[in-house]
Each structure stands twice: as C-alpha cells, then as structure tokens.
A and B are shown apart, each in its own frame.
Chain A
C-alpha cells in the first residue's frame, strides 16, 4: 500500500485488512491519485483512475437524467471479481474510491468497511494547507514524483 498523504495510511491499512480487497485506489475527483494498493504498473493506475472517474461521471449523469438523487456507489459483479466504485466527501474535497475484490470476501464486507474507511478519513484528515498554484512545467514533475512515491521507487 502506498499513499501520498500519510494520514490516509492507517485508515486504508485497516480497510485492506478487514475487507480483504485485492486492489484499492483513492483519487480526488479531479483524478489525482491519493493512495493505491495492489497495482504493479503505474500506467494501470493512471488508466484505472481515468476510467473510474468516467464511470462515476456517467453514472451521475444517468441519475440526473432519471430524476434520481446521486447514486452512492456503483458495483460491477463478475464471476471471479467484483468492482465497487464510490464517491465520497472528505475534508479535502470529493474523492473517489475504487475497490476490486475476489471471492475470498464479499460485497457486503467491502461496503461495510468502505463506509468505515470514509468515516475514519473524515475524522483524521488534518486541516487543509493553502493551495499552492501548480505551474504547467511543475505538473509533469509532480505527477512523476507522485507515481514514484506510490510505487516505492
């Protein structure tokens, strides 16, 4: 498990231990990766983060068109794996959580402990630092630096 924000580590570690999730990705709503577990390639993280954000956006639009309140979570259940995707509010803004799980656990357990993860993140988040303006030439450097941190390199 790798995290860019130290205060995320403990709640996420607990979530992983209790839920039995195989892969977990936390991102901001703008697609910045906050933490990951189970990925082996940085490209996969970027792809999944983008796809997850797209699914959430599409689902939100679907709910709006149907006149429904925003959906709390989206679940795709396959024979061997399931994917749980949910947006949630944190003191640092709107985040997305993507969890991939197998038959050794269950959707019920993933949802149960994901809910507790969200509560705990809300509880332990430190006060937000003033936003630092990111310049274009800094962005790629910061992205690469983030990915190196997430993969321990």
Chain B
C-alpha cells in the first residue's frame, strides 16, 4: 500500500482537508493528499516544528515524546502522530471533524507509514 493510499484513509473522513506524511527533521513533504486550498509545504514545516517543541516539553519531564497531538483553533484543527523512520503523519481538518475518529485512524496510519 502506498503512502498516498494510506493518506486517503484519512482524507475520506468528513471534514479532513488534507493529510500528509512529513519528514520530521526537515519539515518537508514526503507524500500528501490535499484539497486545493491547503498549503502542504506550510503544514509540513509547521507541524514538524511543533512536534519538535512538544518533544522538548516531554523531554523536560523525563517522559517519552507524545505519540499524538492535536492543535485546536477556533476555525480548524491540526493533528499529528510520529511514525516510523523519522516520519510524521499529519491531518488538517475543519473544526467540526470527528476528532476522535480522526485520531484513531491517524495513529493507525502512523503505525504503518514507512
């Protein structure tokens, strides 16, 4: 199954505007499935940067890095889960998305993306 096929499992969820596989270290897009209005490069760079920051918080607490995170804005949400081999799976969605379902699928995809 290609990375694009994996991402399509996320974009099929109503409210999801885009899903990407990102290189964590570089913040560059590895694969994406995006609606036209979504700036994939920006999502990739910012999500990777935020993931690094969060790892800094958990490291300060002597804990492993987060296995998933969600940033909720007033008009949309961003979720991400580190995958294997330095990859990060990211989903961008509307505020109305079923975040619980998206989180479960995201973790599933992150476990398989490589």
Which positions in A face B, CB cutoff 8 Å?
77, 105-109, 111-112, 115
Contacts and interface: CB of A to CB of B under 8 A. Distances in A.
Given A77-B26, A108-B27, 13 more contacts: A105-B49, A107-B26, A107-B27, A108-B22, A108-B26, A108-B28, A108-B48, A111-B28, A111-B41, A112-B41, A112-B42, A112-B46, A115-B41
A109 B49 contact: yes
15 contacts: A107-B26, A107-B27, A108-B22, A108-B26, A108-B41, A108-B45, A108-B48, A108-B49, A109-B46, A111-B28, A111-B41, A112-B27, A112-B41, A112-B42, A115-B41
Contacts of A107: 26-28
Contact of A112 (B22, B25, B45, B52): B45
Nearest to A82: B26
A108 B23 CA distance: 9
B74 to A, nearest CB: 22
